[in-house]
Amino acid sequence: MNEHEFSKKTIEILREIRKQQPLIHHITNFVVMNSTANVTLAIGASPIMAHAHEEMEAMSAFTSALNLNIGTLTPYWVDSMLMAGKAAGERGIPIILDPVGSGATPLRTEAAKKILAEVPVTVIRGNASEVMSLFTHKEEIKIRGVDSLETVDAVRDGAHRLAKELKKVIAVTGEVDFITNGEKAIEVHNGHPMFGRVTGTGCAATTAISCFCAVEPDLLVATACALGYYGLAGEEAARVSNGPGGFQVALYDALYNLSEETMMERLRIKPVK
Amino acid sequence: MNEHEFSKKTIEILREIRKQQPLIHHITNFVVMNSTANVTLAIGASPIMAHAHEEMEAMSAFTSALNLNIGTLTPYWVDSMLMAGKAAGERGIPIILDPVGSGATPLRTEAAKKILAEVPVTVIRGNASEVMSLFTHKEEIKIRGVDSLETVDAVRDGAHRLAKELKKVIAVTGEVDFITNGEKAIEVHNGHPMFGRVTGTGCAATTAISCFCAVEPDLLVATACALGYYGLAGEEAARVSNGPGGFQVALYDALYNLSEETMMERLRIKPVK
Amino acid sequence: MNEHEFSKKTIEILREIRKQQPLIHHITNFVVMNSTANVTLAIGASPIMAHAHEEMEAMSAFTSALNLNIGTLTPYWVDSMLMAGKAAGERGIPIILDPVGSGATPLRTEAAKKILAEVPVTVIRGNASEVMSLFTHKEEIKIRGVDSLETVDAVRDGAHRLAKELKKVIAVTGEVDFITNGEKAIEVHNGHPMFGRVTGTGCAATTAISCFCAVEPDLLVATACALGYYGLAGEEAARVSNGPGGFQVALYDALYNLSEETMMERLRIKPVK
């Protein structure tokens, strides 16, 4: 696919989301439960937040994607993710993992690795440091809390190899996003620095991916299109706002209102040669 | 009461809330804790969110309504609701139940039924599928996650019978809201489709009911007036906003600013013959 | 320092925050996790929310302040605070305590006192009733949920004595804020009544203090400057908004955008003779 075709595909997937209104099961952190639910709704899908062990299996009967996020986690929540992940795996529901803070503390790194070992995750989305923590020793990672100190460029090769080895899609987000399945790779040049001044915007990027993967079987393409669309909504939000408060409000509005014309003109999703 | 009298009553209750500033104890889900607290404040009451077993009884000493919401629940939280509910019941504090997702999973349905069996709930507010789950077999309910696939019309008779049997007020919300105590019934024609694109707006409708029931002893009237006022605030928010982000911000502002003149003109609360 | 010097100091600390981007570890309540994270980012620092016992010690290795808040607490969370507090204390990281609702229920009061007994807290920020609960008998406190029924004036002397006895900075916030370390005292006259109509704005004031204390060793001065800056952002937000929804959005924007010129002109931080 070339850039023009990626733009058309993004529009096509969005139309499908709004037609199907797929349910996206989130097991996510306390900070972003409200904002990621709102992003899901603004995109046109429907969120369900649930983590009780008693209903993890039941959820897989009527949901179309499973979004796992390890922020603010405790062991109980890791178990919720394992239970929901196994049930989703058996039904072939796409599972999207956001390894928030992996590399920063052993609890986070081990949780991310345990989920990857026991659950058939299909897509991973993280910043450069988080993704690096999945394929290297902790001592080598530069991370500060949940903020990456690595650049996307520094982890491209490692992410590509890891994607090939694990047979998953990996998205490393930053100034330019890099998406790979170990065979092919895509770059997304949409985005805006103001994302960094609002909490949970990385988690919400993962939510966008989950919505797109719920209706599009080609998960590499779905992930790239989701990040292009989400990044472009951020560009639009920055244009009409004046600070991080207004930016977040305008982001929801842009995700809801972005016209197909704007997407054809301004999406920047490109195959990597 | 006729439509005109309902409008006047709504204004009267609101004045009373702003005079008394009643404390509303919420045991609610993680997604909406912030937004329902803000709705409580915008209306003029004061929220207290607490779920620790150690303080459930203590809370009933200084609160004027108890709002129970079963979203993102686990067994610990169900026990919190039972403890707080019993203490509130002993003191005659109105208890308002939002059975979020009842009918979708056994955990939710059973939690809702257990609370109804053990706690003197006074008002139930849910969408059509959630309310139907309380009076029929699970297999018969069409629900998808927390989204109703039933219409309000389809459950009117069942809700009316259930209200009569349980001696409670039941509010079924949707395009038109239906409120019944098993004897009399009221319809509310205020509202806006944009509520469906913002998370937790159903939960916040229940919060509005809790604020109104905290100061008005006629709970059927209080519930209908709360839903009219809340729906009208949504109409006003939609008028001045341009998407779900702006809508939510404008909703808080409208709940805070709605003039008595606007309420007299545009509230649509009607007795059902 | 005189008023002019406090304004200059506030600007200097803010510049330092934006240069260092210190990580602020929050163990805080569910209602305000999102909003306090956003306040942290708007100020220019970086938030990390975490409460799992397994990572409390690890957090102290890379964070610059620890923000403890006892809203929506359960015993598990109190233990998280004790663990994180001890680790932070050993490394000399400033610890800022927000005793939300202390005085309202025994659980809250005892939790606040236990944390103060076992953790080297450096700054306490609360409303008048919450602060009074720390130095008097429960029976004597007028508090309603998390709302103070005491005035700042009524607790000035008590707060001053307590600060001297505990060797801590104590900030009592209200219409005028009173900050004392038992030796010197400062008043902050910035602020706006609309803070009272948005949930978590007291918790976010504590977050502002944590950001300032992360880079400024004089904690009395850091606390006063943080409250001045935060209060002035609220004045600015009220000027450009029209209700509590718009106020919150504009508050984030003002925290992000407040110019040094505006601060020099309008900050009202004054030494108490």
B180 and B157 in contact (C-beta within 8 Å)?
no
- What percent of chain B is modeled with pLDDT above 70? 98
Integer CA distances (angstroms), C176 to A161, B56, C133, C172, in order: 59, 33, 19, 9
User: Distance of CA C137 to CAs A242, A249, B53, C202, C269, Å?
Assistant: 48, 45, 23, 23, 32
- The order of strands in the sheet holding B65-69 is B46-49, B23-27, B65-69, B95-98, B123-126, B169-172, B177-180, B185-188, B269-271
Q: Which helix (H) or strand (E) holds A92?
A: none
In C, minimum Cα distance to A145 occurs at: C48
- Write out chain B residues lying below 8 Å of C29, CB-based: 49
Contact A31/C49, CB-based, under 8 Å?
yes
pLDDT at C149: 79
Name the token pair of A31.
């900070």
> Residue B139: what pLDDT?
63
Angle at C108 between CA C105 and CA C114, to 5 degrees: 135
Tokens of B105: 């999973």
User: Which residue in A113, A88, A75, A76 sits closest to A26, CA to CA?
Assistant: A88
Count Cβ–Cβ pairs < 8 Å, chain A vs chain C. 102
Cβ neighbours, 10 Å, residue A34: 25
How many domains, in total, are found in chain B?
A: 1
Q: pLDDT tens across A142-191, in order? A: 777 777 878 888 899 999 999 999 999 999 999 999 999 999 999 999 99
B partners (3+ CB pairs within 8 A) are A, C
The pLDDT-based confidence of A138 (bands split at 50, 70, 90) is low
Please state, as a whole number, how many other Cβ atoms lie within 10 Å of the Cβ of residue C260: 14
Does residue B24 carry a pLDDT above 70?
Answer: yes
Is C113 buried (19+), middle (13-18) or exposed (0-12) by CB count in 10 A? Answer: middle
* Among the partner residues C30, C34, C55, nearest to A105 by beta-carbon distance: C55
The strand pairing partners of A97, in sequence order, are: A68, A124
User: What proportion of chain C, given as a percentage, has pLDDT over 70?
Assistant: 98
Query: What's the CA gap between C230 and C235, in Å, rounded?
Result: 9
Cβ distance A257 to B246 less than 8 Å, yes or no, reads: no
Which pair of tokens denotes residue B227? 């839903």
Pairing assessment for the beta strands C123-126 and C143-144 based on DSSP bridges: unpaired
Distance between CA A129 and CA A134 in Å, rounded? 9
Residue B138: predicted pLDDT: 62
Q: State the residue range of the domain holding B27.
A: 3-271
pLDDT for B49: 97
List the single best residue of C29, C30, C51 to mutate versus B (max B Cβ within 10 A): C30
Tell me the two tokens of residue A195.
């994302």
Give ipTM to 2 decimals: 0.96
* CA distance, residue A181 to nearest chain B CA (Å): 31
What Å distances lie between residue C142 and B54, C151, C154, CA to CA? 21, 10, 11
Q: A interface mutation test: which of C49, C53, C64, C240 has the most A CBs within 10 A?
A: C49
Min distance B145 CA to chain A CA atoms (Å): 6
- Return the pLDDT at B31: 97
The reply to whether B225 touches chain A by the CB within 8 Å rule is: no
Containing H/E element for C134? none
Question: Model-level pTM?
Answer: 0.97
DSSP H helical segments within B134-268, as ranges?
Answer: 152-166, 201-215, 219-240, 244-257, 260-266
Residue B183 reports pLDDT greater than 80: yes
Nearest to B31 among A34, A58, A257 (CB): A34
Answer for the pair A98, A206: CB distance below 8 angstroms, yes or no: yes
Q: What is the mean pLDDT of chain A?
A: 96
* Interchain CB contact of B33 with C (< 8 Å): yes
Strand partners, B185: B180
User: Do C244 and B38 lie within an 8 Å CB cutoff?
Assistant: yes
CATH of the domain at C84: 3.40.1190.20
Amino acid at B17: I
pLDDT of residue B145: 74
Tell me if B38 sits within 8 A of C199, measured CB to CB.
Answer: yes
In the predicted model, residues of chain C with pLDDT beneath 70 are 137-141
Say which residue the tokens 């607790």 belong to.
C155
Q: How far apart are CA B246 and CA B43, in angstroms?
A: 19
Chain A residue with CA closest to C250: the answer is: A245
Residue A247, judged by CB atoms within 10 A of its CB (0-12, 13-18, 19+), counts as buried
Q: What's the average model confidence in pLDDT over B105-130?
A: 96
Partner C contacted by A198 (CB < 8 A): yes
Quick one: pLDDT at residue A147?
A: 79
pLDDT of residue C139: 63
Residue B270: pLDDT band with limits 50, 70, 90: very high
The confidence score (pLDDT) of residue C246 equals: 98
Task: Residue B197: list chain A partners with CB under 8 A.
Answer: 41-42, 256
CB contact under 8 A, B41 and C145: no
- Subunits with at least 3 CB pairs below 8 A relative to chain A? B, C
Contact residues, chain B, for A248 at CB < 8 Å: 245
